[in-house]
A and B are shown apart, each in its own frame.
Chain A
Amino acid sequence: MIASTIALYFYTKNLLKNEVEEELFSTEARIESAIKINDISFSLPPVIEVVEVKELEELFLKDTLIYDPSQNEDEVFRELSTFKRINGKNYRITVRNLVVESKDILIAIDVSYFIIILLVFLFLFYSNVEGNRKLWFPFFKNLEAMKNFSVKSEKQIVLVDSDILEFQELSNEISLLTNKVQDDYQNLKQLTEDVSHEMQTPLAIMQAKIENIINTNKIDDDQYKLFSSLQKDIQRLKQLIKRLTLLTKIENNQFINIDKVDIAASLGKTIQNFKELFNLEIGFQYKHPLFVSMDPYLVEVLCNNLISNAVKHDVKKDEILVSCSHNSMIISNSGEKQIENPEKLFNRFYRESKSNQSTGLGLAIVKKICDLYGFEISYKFHDARHIFTVNFRI
């Protein structure tokens, strides 16, 4: 655009210069013929000057500055001086033409050209952008909807219709796909809940029957041992169901009671309970209460699961330490070596060894609770200790 403006400037300038010069030549020719016919020399300074000279010289063209009293300033003139011998006399004929006006015209043309080009450019640019925006609007809107889509939410994805066939097909397919994914997810969740629920009653029957059998006096010690171990298995199943249901409930966002709960107090209570039951020593340090907004039941679960995990894996006895600061809690126990797959630690059913019969859900639940409230949980092995830190991000 600028290049074309510059080109236009020089082209117009050249054109105007030629025009001025042509005019000068034609004026000079007229004067010459007027002198020839009338044999008079006349002048009209500064535009026309006819002077008798002794010798003839080459004609020359030049620019000159002449004071113009009417405008009270120096103006640029184009000057043509020719030397002619007319009727036996030598004349110098000088014609001048004002250049100023032509320069103004030049600038006017260039500026208007530039403005027109600029306006056209801006118009095209914005109409193009606007057109594209309209054209792609359904696409980006749907893309945004997909980004915000969550399998876990029960809200259906809301897509924008489009006149463009390809976009319309795309959004139809997205709708189908997301609905199916959501349905599958809901079914799966419902299955966990239903299965857990349906298993409770048969388990209750089994447990009740076993209890009646051990009270009949018709069994011997070995049979009792078998029944007692059956009770243990039932209890294991029961805990598994309970924890699975809890996980599902947390995922379903069914814990909506939010209270300001003192983590330090809850830890203290849990520790007291463990101490009484297992005759353990658990070190507990805290200075201030630590209030966190969350479901009171989940606070209990959080403290209980972390401490029972520490109790279970404490290799030397009585080496469990719990501490609570203004925004975090740390629970640690003695250990022999770093766990092999720390990244899997919070996965459901992940166990380092087959030896213990835990449900393998305790830490998965802890992680779920932390995720639910945006707490940060981390694990590290340091100085022969397994250390779990929960940062409440206060």
Chain B
Amino acid sequence: MKFLIVEDELDLQESIVTYFEKDANICEVASDFHEALEKVELYDYDVIILDINLITGSGLEVLKALKKRKKSAGVIIISANNSLDDKLEGLDLGADDYLTKPFHLAELNSRIKAVLRRGKFGGDETIEFNEIKINTKSRTAYINDVSLTLTRKEYDLLVFFITNQGRVLSKEIIAEHLWGDDSDLIDNFDFIYVHINNLRKKMTGETAKYIKTAYGSGYKFINY
């Protein structure tokens, strides 16, 4: 996949690049408004990660330029501004998703995957991983074509794991993904273990082994 990361905070830009290059993606960067505008007009990308609070101009203008040229890139806005108006304006202009800083890279990754799924398969949204098959439209999961009965949280967890395979997911990252950042209950992450254990039980036998414990308290979904 070809990524364009539009972010004028170079440290953040670099971290995002590091994270996504691991999956053998090609990451290009734009560090200011004009560079972003130029690259968007010249080249094609699969995914554009767009900071809308650029010092030299608004990322929303980049988005407009992109849509004017009818480019099909998936666009995810990242913004330090948690205002609903900005969010709605971005989505109205054709952005596919909106993330407020600070965010977990795993969360960004999972959002990107979702955007790509919707873009590539035009409604028939499936995720496949060996014998696991997930239909994201009907929110159902199958192992060897046998349907799994999952709660909503278990289903979310499974999708999150598969889209972030090979990555270490700490309980903080998982908690925030499941709960959103509205919770004021951060001293209690025990509920994560309960959900993961239940998921493992339902996945049974060999399949459950994909979910590995990392560093004692984190998790990693890997193809063993």
Contact status A201-B9, CB under 8 Å: yes
| Total cross-chain contacts (CB, 8 A) | 133
Residue pair A207, B103 in contact (C-beta under 8 Å) = yes
User: Distance (Å) between the CB of A347 and the closest chain B CB?
Assistant: 16
Contact with B along A216-258 (1 / 0, CB 8 A): 0001110011011001101110110011010000000000000
A242 touches B181 (CB 8 A): yes
Known: A197-B80, A208-B12. A228 touches B171 (CB 8 A): yes
* Contact assessment for A297 and B153 in the assembled complex, using a CB-CB cutoff below 8 Å: no
Q: Separation in Å of the B16 CB from the closest CB of chain A?
A: 6
Chain A, interface size: which category? 35 or more
**B contacts, CB < 8 Å to A:** 9, 11-12, 15-16, 18-19, 22, 78, 80-82, 84, 100-106, 151-153, 167-168, 170-173, 176, 178-179, 181-187, 191, 194-195, 214-218
* A224 pairs with B218, CB closer than 8 A: yes
Instruction: Judge whether B172 and A215 touch: CB under 8 Å.
Output: no
Task: Give CA–CA (A253, B153) in the complex, Å.
Answer: 35
A277 and B191 in contact (CB under 8 A), knowing A205-B15, A215-B22? yes
Scan residues 104-155 of chain A and give those whose CB is less than 8 A from a CB of chain B.
none
Distance in Å from the Cβ of A240 to the closest Cβ of chain B? 10
Whether B185 lies near A312 (C-beta < 8 A) is yes
Q: Please state if B215 and A207 are interface contacts (CB–CB under 8 Å).
A: no
Most chain B CB inside 10 Å of its own CB: which residue of A207, A227, A236, A312: A207
Decide yes or no: A242 and B170 within 8 Å by CB, A207-B104, A276-B151, A277-B179 being known contacts: no
B170/A200 in contact, CB under 8 A: no
29 contacts between A and B (CB under 8 A): A197-B80, A198-B80, A201-B9, A201-B80, A203-B101, A204-B80, A204-B101, A205-B9, A207-B105, A208-B19, A209-B11, A212-B18, A215-B168, A224-B168, A224-B170, A224-B214, A224-B216, A228-B172, A235-B172, A235-B176, A239-B181, A239-B184, A277-B153, A304-B182, A311-B185, A357-B186, A358-B186, A359-B184, A362-B184
Contact A197 B191 (CB under 8 A): no
In the complex, the answer to whether B19 meets A212 with C-beta atoms within 8 Å is yes
The 3 closest A-B pairs by CB, nearest first: A224-B215, A208-B15, A204-B102
Residues of A within 8 A of B217 (CB): 224-225, 228
Contact with B along A269-290 (1 / 0, CB 8 A): 0000000111100000000000
B residues less than 8 Å from A293 (CB atoms): none
By a CB distance below 8 angstroms, the chain A residues around B22 are 215
Pick the most buried of A197, A214, A234, A277: most chain B CB atoms within 10 A of its CB: A277
| New A-B contacts (19) at CB < 8 Å, excluding given A198-B80, A231-B173 | A197-B80, A197-B81, A200-B82, A204-B9, A204-B78, A204-B103, A207-B105, A208-B19, A209-B15, A211-B15, A220-B215, A224-B215, A224-B216, A279-B194, A308-B184, A309-B184, A356-B187, A358-B187, A361-B184
The answer to whether B185 and A238 touch across the interface, beta carbons within 8 angstroms, is: no
Q: CB of A53 within 8 A of chain B? A: no
In the complex, chain B residues whose CB is within 8 Å of the CB of A297: 84
Q: A residues within 8 A CB of B218?
A: 214, 224, 228
Interfacial residues of chain A within 327-364, with CB under 8 A of chain B in the complex: 356-359, 361-362
CA distance A239 to B19 in the complex (A): 24
Inter-subunit contact B102/A231 (CB<8 Å): no
Interface flag for A384 (CB, 8 Å): no
Residues in A neighbouring B84, C-beta threshold 8 A: 297
Are the CB atoms of B187 and A357 closer together than 8 Å? yes
| Chain B residues within an 8 Å CB radius of A219 | 215
B181 contacts across to A, CB distance below 8 A: 235, 238-239, 242
Specify which of B101, B152, B181, B187 lies most central, judged by the most chain A CB atoms within 10 Å of its CB. Answer: B101
Cβ-defined contact, B12 with A201, below 8 A: yes
Contacts of B173 in A (CB 8 A): 211, 231
- Pick the residue among A205, A221, A231, A308 that contacts B170 (CB under 8 A): A231
State in angstroms the CA–CA spacing of A44 and B21 once bound together: 146
